[in-house]
Amino acid sequence: MTARHTKALIIGSGPAGYTAAIYAARAMLKPVLIAGMEQGGQLMITTDVENYPGFADPIQGPFLMEQMLNQAVHVGAEIVNDIVTEVELSRRPFTVRTDSGAVWTADTLIIATGAKAKWLGIESEQHFQGFGVSACATCDGFFYRNKDVIVVGGGNSAVEEALYLSNIAKSVTVVHRRDSFRSEKILQERLFAKENINVLWNTEVAEITGTPAKPPMPPSVSGVKLRDTRSGAITEMPIDGVFVAIGHAPAVELFKGKLKMKPNGYLWTAPDSTATDVEGVFAAGDVTDDVFRQAITAAGMGCMAALEAERYLTAVETRREAAE
């Protein structure tokens, strides 16, 4: 199959990818965005979004992503519904192969493959995702004002989520399967100082209970069944919301051994930049952001990546003209 060439190839279709496509298209780079298996990213499983600027009323995550997609197409980006299976970054132009057998070459590459929250892996969790079960307190905590919630986990993420929720919810219970936290000591001290935070040690969530969907009413969480990790005993606890905070896994499989990574597995980028350690390759959004992981910050990084790609291409052209 004959390879198709583009100045800017974008891998991933979340807020970072779509924003990069919008900016690259407006810079007349004629970008191509390969959407991937889960077009729209994590927002596709998010219900009400209240913290994305520009919308006075809550909007649905899938609607927001549809609008970003339409905007990218409107300004001239080409969207390809395919899955990248291989990337070659050792020579220019870069080469990308997809599941359909297509081959693309690109002068610049913007990686926006995102990350996935790690889940508990129990059946009931999937049933209530977006309807009482969340992996993002910053995104969904607002909906649990003066309610009772649990946070599952024992690392920095879990403690930070619990601290954040303690300022919103009536009570926060941290459920941890071990007898001590892995989080930083200063975070633990802040958590233990909070009067409305309780910790259940040596405990794991066995099942999430609630009311099934009854159209037009969606499902809702009403409690959890907890298992003692030492005795196996099961207890029940009424609860309004469950926040799973056992980490995130960035989608970096394609780039292992080809791009520099941070110690925690996220793609490395230069300070105050989206540039990776390979010239002409940029990373934006949750695939590199292990701190904020918000739609708005991902979109901002997508903007940065497109601007940096355009400047890189201009610099390369200037060097070529000077050489000639």
Query: Which residue among 48, 57, 82, 140 is the active-site one?
Result: 140
Q: Could you give the dihedral angle defined by the CA atoms of residues 183, 187, 193 and 198, in that order, rounded to the nearest 10 degrees?
A: -40
Contact 266, 252 (CB under 8 A): yes
- In the residue annotation, 303 being an active-site residue is answered as no
Radius of gyration (C-alpha) of the chain in whole angstroms: 22
Query: What sign does the CA torsion over 201, 205, 208, 209 have?
Result: negative
Query: Which residue among 48, 57, 82, 136 is the active-site one?
Result: 136
Contact 117, 135 (CB under 8 A): yes
Query: Which residue among 107, 139, 286, 290 is the active-site one?
Result: 139
The enclosing H or E element of 74 equals helix 61-74
138: Cβ contacts below 8 Å, ≥ 6 apart: 51, 164, 294
Which residues carry out catalysis?
Answer: 136, 139-140
